[in-house]
Structure 1
Amino acid sequence: MFPKFKAYINKEMPFLKEKKLLLACSGGLDSIVLTHLCKAANLNIALAHCNFKLRGDESDGDETFVRQLASDFGIEVFVMLFEAEKYAETQRLSVQMAARELRYQWFSGLIKTKGYDYILTAHHADDSLETFLINLSRGTGIEGLSGIPEVNEHVVRPLLPFSRSEILAYAESKGVDWREDSSNVSTKYLRNKIRHQIVPVLKELHPTFLQNFLTTQNHLQQSNDLVLNHLNELKSKLFEQRDGDIKISIAALEQLQPLDAYLYGLFKDYGFTEWNDVKDLLSSMSGKQVVSKTHRLLKDRDFLILSEIKNKVSGTYLVHIDGTLSELPIKLKLENVETLEKQGRNVVFLDKEKLNFPLVLRNWEKGDYFYPFGMQGKKKLSKFFKDEKLDVISKDKQWLLCSDNKIVWVVGKRADERFKVDDSTREIIKITQLT
């Protein structure tokens, strides 16, 4: 197996040879064999072991075994103890999913803090088959049937071309020791049930079933790549970047057929799952929206506005008389000037004596009004926003600069008439919103 492994690394993953690698090592057959293969291939590895304390003394024995292996090989080892059951309860996850989240969060942290380039995991061909069958049983699209990716950002899986039987044969031929996880034989977990009860029957029906599956999955991956290339090209045409958000023409979306498939392909990466709601948004009234855990899709007249949900920056901030105020949620520069220049959306000139410092920067609130520069009389901000055709997302981001509870400037939009420079002005202050 080693010559085949080394050839695979040289051809498909040569980038690993010059990188610092962190190998996820449970102590089981697959990760132990991967450790031996990487060491034989002179890859620069360290081990990372998670002790989830789910199997008592057995879990501690796994930890001891991995520590000893690292010592025998003269490589560094990182070990972390987790309370997976408590995390599962608080996050309302299965214990398996909780362990997975904790594991990968820790791996990502090690990469950042310890200077490693990639995480290596020991997933192999049989794991890919089991994942395929799990996704098939739950209902999925072509992406869910395309298998476990060999490289996914910083996670690399060098054993995917190899079967479990190849890995076992290598370990036995080399006299490699490993730890058996007693939970792997339990069929109360879906993956184990598929592994022990379904896959053996499929392999019995056709001796080359696993190899045939890998060939089919390769075709599916190539088909999925074609779909993704088309969707990315479509996004470059339809998704218009605007102030950190994305604006999409509804008319252009409605021309796509089959519409359901296109909506799924275009928006699935943003966490949406209620696809009927997304489709209904196209014909809804302005202001309607669909929200995922990470993004918001808003109907705004003839467009959909896609925006990332971030922790809203809110509160009240004091703005003092001079200097560039970088500690504010937006960047403002205040300076005394001698002459009046052209005023614009991002620059205002005000009568300094009409202002009471410190000024206050705050979010807009229902009921706010101001006296728009160049106009007579007051206007509610809600009406001003409507005239400016601001959508809900833009309103949420709007800041006001105030003096004694009076709006001085709807920042980036319009100054207030009450604070303008006139013939009686003796001191002029220029305020600039910096990008």
Structure 2
Amino acid sequence: MKINYPIQKDATYLVACSYGPDSMALLHLLMKETTKIVVCHVNYHKRNISDFEERSLQDYCVEHGLIFERFEAPKNSRGNFQSWARELRYAFFANMYHKYDAKALFVAHQQDDLIETYLIQKQRGNRVDYYGIEPVIFMKKMIVVRPLLSYSKQDLLDYCHENLVPFSIDVSNFETKYLRNKIRLQIVAKLTEIERYQILKEIKDNNQTLTRQKQKAVKIVSNSRSLPIPKLLECNEEEFNEAIIQLVKQSEKFTPLSNSQLKEIREMCQSKKPNIDIPLGIGFSLLKEYDTLVLSEQIRTQNYEFTLEKPGTLSTEYFEIDFSHGAEDRNITENDYPLTIRNSQPKDRYLVGGNLCEIRRLFIDWKMPMRLRASWPVVINKTGTIIYVPRYRKNFVDNKKSKFIIKVVKLP
């Protein structure tokens, strides 16, 4: 048994160690490759032997000349303990990673964990970025390595016994109140070698298929925050789903999408309605804007109003205008001053071709995205009449001598 990862002799490595058989086997294997190891332990005080495990691990590190770092977790947690604990320990690992300028963090996930994760993914039915557990990932500015995924839990137990590596068994792993424990005890523990092989092959095949879908999706998305819906609908269901995931992942507020959400997005793209908004999480949405799908922040539109007393310039967070040399090319004369520039309102009307039109109807005719309408500026003369509304058109180029630049909010 060995660590299948290139170790640099002059580099420092972190090992996440609980004093269980998996992490102790990992630590022992890594000690064969290098002595520049920082052992990182989190004590949650969830079990009576938690302090014993911490002391035993610390003694082991002292005996073998290893640096030992511990984190005392708060005794109270809110919500899902597993999620809370994971966030807590990886924040600790990230601090240690920076402190010691580490090359990588080693984590002792093994083959049973890999199979359990895959079975949980299948049971939950959510779209995933990877089936099972990735051998190497980058998170919180750390390289996280899982070098034991080809070894079973029993392999690691046997290794510890054969090499006299001390460890402690976490009896909470035998409680069935957690889904992972149920799958471990009721399914994975009872797998035959043939069944285990078949599941591992299924994981490999699914990841290969997922990779091909990602490659096609990346070409479609191409780092854009918007996608042409007709092109999306040419994809089969799996390719469509992967393209949506690649699009949404560009938001810092990204959360994994469920199959039901992906189905809703596909139905939105197929709908005859020109404007639809699907919130996907806290602060961001997918918008259908006619034949375009847009990733957008959810922005609360605030009313604004500015005054331009005479021909000149005005710069705001919403727009910039330069009427220094007049704005007759926009049908604005000196007799119209002072001008008021504010955002459009639902009951606004504007004279077009001798007819008084509702501005909202103009926006519809122009196929203006819904997210722009409430903040779109209108120009009002000194008598309170709307005399100018900047034209909206996709890829519109304004060639007028006077300048009126609207600052559209950037997509996330």
Please name the residue that 1:289 is paired with. 277
> 1:423 is matched with which residue?
none
Counterpart selection for 2:168 from 179, 182, 192: 179
Q: Could you say if the C-alpha distance between residues 18 and 333 of structure 1 is closer, same or farther in structure 2, counting changes exceeding 3 Å?
A: farther
**Shift in alpha-carbon separation, 1:379–1:195, aligned structure 2, 3 A:** same
**One-letter amino acid of the structure 1 residue matched with residue 217 of structure 2:** L
Cα distance in 2, alignment partners of residues 109 and 381 from structure 1 = 55
Aligned-partner SS, 2:285: strand
1:9 aligns with: 5
Match of 1:289, SS? Answer: strand
The change in CA–CA distance for 1:120 and 1:287 in structure 2 (over 3 A counts) is: same
Are the equivalent residues in 1 in contact too, given 2:302–2:375 (CA < 8 A)? no
1:79-109 residue CA offsets vs partner (Å, 9 max, x unmatched) = 15145642x1xxxxx3323333444455456
- State how far apart, in whole Å, the 2-side matches of 1:266 and 1:118 are: 31
Aligned to 1:247: 227
Does the Cα contact within 8 Å between 2:326 and 2:333 map onto a contact in 1? no
Cross-structure match for 2:254: none
Q: Percent same amino acid among aligned pairs?
A: 23
Cα distance, 1:300–1:216 mapped onto 2, change above 3 Å? closer
User: 5, 14, 23: which is aligned to 1:31?
Assistant: 23
- From 278, 296, 300, give the equivalent of 2:265: 278
Give runs of aligned pairs for residues 310-389 of structure 1, distance below 5 A: 310=298, 312=300, 314=302, 354=337, 365-367=345-347, 381-389=359-367
Q: 1:412 to 1:189 in 2, by over 3 A?
A: same
Which amino acid in 1 is paired with 2:22?
Answer: D
Quote how far apart the aligned CAs of 1:128 are: 0.8
Partner of 2:135: 150
Unpaired segments of 5 or more residues in structure 2?
249-256, 394-401
Q: Does 1:52 align with 2:44?
A: yes
CA contact (8 A) 1:272 1:291 kept: no
Query: Quick one: distance in 1 between partners of 2:305 and 2:162?
Result: 70
Write the deviation string for residues 346-366 of structure 1: whole angstroms up to 9, x where unpaired.
xxx998x9569xx99x86554
1:280 maps to a residue whose letter is E
Instruction: Please state how far the C-alpha of 1:392 moved relative to its aligned partner.
Output: 1.6
Distance 1:45 1:186, change over 3 A: same
Change (3 A) 1:403 1:342: closer
Match of 2:276, as an amino acid? K
SS where residue 247 of structure 1 aligns?
strand
Give how far 1:378 is off.
8.1
* Alignment partner of 1:79 is 2:71: yes
| Distance in 2 separating the partners of 1:35 and 1:350 | 80
Instruction: Report if the CA contact (8 A) 2:313-2:320 is conserved.
Output: yes
Change (3 A) 1:44 1:184: same
Instruction: Give per-residue Cα distances to partners, 1:120-170, cap 9 Å, x unaligned.
Output: 3211111112222333444467x5883211122233212212222232233
Q: 1:134 to 1:305 in 2, by over 3 A?
A: closer
Q: Which residue of 2 aligns with 1:391?
A: 369
Question: What TM-score results when the alignment is normalised by the length of structure 1?
Answer: 0.66
1:132 corresponds in structure 2 to: 118
- After TM superposition, the structure 1 stretch with the greater mean CA deviation from structure 2, 167-176 or 211-220, is 211-220
Letter in 1 for 2:182: K
Amino acid of the structure 2 residue aligned with 1:217: I
Cα separation, 1, equivalents of 2:100 and 2:314: 37
Compute the displacement of 1:391 (Å): 0.9
Consecutive unaligned residues of structure 1, counting only runs of 5 or more, are 89-93, 415-428
Please name the residue that 1:265 is paired with: 242
Contact 2:285 2:298 in 1 (8 A): no
CA contact (8 A) 2:308 2:338 kept: no
Distance in 2 (alpha carbons) for counterparts of 1:272 and 1:100: 22
Identify the residue that residue 252 of structure 2 maps to in structure 1. none
Question: Which whole-Å CA distance do the structure 2 matches of 1:313 and 1:52 have between them?
Answer: 45
Cα RMSD between the aligned structures? 4.9
Residue type of the partner of 1:260?
Answer: E
> Which secondary structure does the structure 2 equivalent of 1:177 belong to?
coil
Structure 1 residues 285 and 140: CA distance shift in structure 2, 3 A: closer
Give the CA deviation at 1:233.
Answer: 3.1
Assess if the C-alpha contact under 8 Å between 1:284 and 1:299 holds in 2: no
1:199 corresponds to which of 188, 194, 201: 188
Instruction: Give the 3 Å change call, closer, same or farther, for CA 336–397 of structure 1 in structure 2.
Output: closer
Matches of 1:62 and 1:334, distance apart in 2: 69
TM-score normalised by L of structure 2: 0.69
Secondary structure of 1:305's partner? Answer: strand
Aligned to 2:179: 190
